[in-house]
Chain A
Amino acid sequence: AAGVIQSPRHLIKEKRETATLKCYPIPRHDTVYWYQQGPGQDPQFLISFYEKMQSDKGSIPDRFSAQQFSDYHSELNMSSLELGDSALYFCASSLYVSSGNSPLHFGNGTRLTVT
């Protein structure tokens, strides 16, 4: 079965550079979530999209932005990178139902290292 695809798997950037992470959800899933996970920490919710509209916002810095495109893939754009942005970035997708109870399917993540 198709899973959530994230690219790239690894990314190395220098401080103050920009980075773009991509996420391709499971076909027919209409909701995408972005999470940031530091070493030994729980996934921190950044932002989510439902039907190409931002549905919820978490602890996403102003330097970051994201969007969901017409084909439902999503991109997380990160500018003015800081050392503290080094982390594993997960994308997850789900299918929204009226009760909002659909489980999340995670991609393998993008490991961002800022030097």
Chain B
Amino acid sequence: GQQVMQIPQYQHVQEGEDFTTYCNSSTTLSNIQWYKQRPGGHPVFLIQLVKSGEVKKQKRLTFQFGEAKKNSSLHITATQTTDVGTYFCAGQNNNDMRFGAGTRLTVKP
């Protein structure tokens, strides 16, 4: 079945440094979604990428979808303490949605 791999599992950065998490699917996706889960909270939808090679930006966050629609990345520029949390990618094919293992980001002030 469809599998979604995400790396790294953990990332600890100094405030102001950049951060990137990568997501790779074993199958071609119809779309990929990104979620953020704060400690003790529930996953919150950030963005959805649909088109091959698509790039979307949300302030300091940049999301990319690979040309083959099998991989994606989330890049945060100049991290802040408010960016702390676990970032999940979720690959969708038809009505089948599978989450990556998540990247837990901690930011040192």
* Chain A residues packing against B (C-beta within 8 Å): 31, 33, 35, 40-45, 48, 50, 55-56, 90, 92, 96, 99-101, 103-109
Q: Which residues of B contact A92 (CB under 8 A)?
A: 43
The verdict on A106 contacting B100 (CB below 8 Å), with A101-B31, A101-B50 known, is: no
The number of residue pairs between A and B whose CB atoms lie closer than 8 Å in the complex comes to 59
Interface centre among A31, A90, A106 (most CB of B within 10 A): A106
Q: Which residues of A contact B79 (CB under 8 A)?
A: none
At the interface, yes or no: B94 with Cβ under 8 Å from chain A? Answer: yes
Interface residues of B in 37-84 (CB under 8 A from A): 41-45, 48, 50
Q: Which residues of B contact A44 (CB under 8 A)?
A: 99
A107→B42 contact, CB < 8 A: yes
B48→A90 contact, CB < 8 A: no
At the interface, yes or no: B97 with Cβ under 8 Å from chain A? Answer: yes
Interface residues of B in 1-59 (CB under 8 A from A): 6, 30-31, 33, 35, 41-45, 48, 50
Q: Which residues of A contact B35 (CB under 8 A)?
A: 104, 106
Instruction: Tell me if B's interface is mostly helix, strand, loop or mixed.
Output: strand
B88→A103 contact, CB < 8 A: no
Q: Which residues of A contact B41 (CB under 8 A)?
A: 108
Name which residue of chain A comes closest to B100, CB basis.
A42
The verdict on A56 contacting B45 (CB below 8 Å), with A41-B101, A42-B102 known, is: no
CB distance from A106 to the nearest CB of B (A): 4
Name which residue of chain A comes closest to B10, CB basis.
A40
CB distance from A5 to the nearest CB of B (A): 12
The verdict on A45 contacting B33 (CB below 8 Å), with A100-B94, A103-B48 known, is: no
Name which residue of chain B comes closest to A49, CB basis.
B95
Q: How far is the CA of A9 from the CA of B28 in the complex (A)?
A: 36
At the interface, yes or no: B92 with Cβ under 8 Å from chain A? Answer: yes
The verdict on A108 contacting B95 (CB below 8 Å), with A42-B102, A101-B48, A103-B33 known, is: no
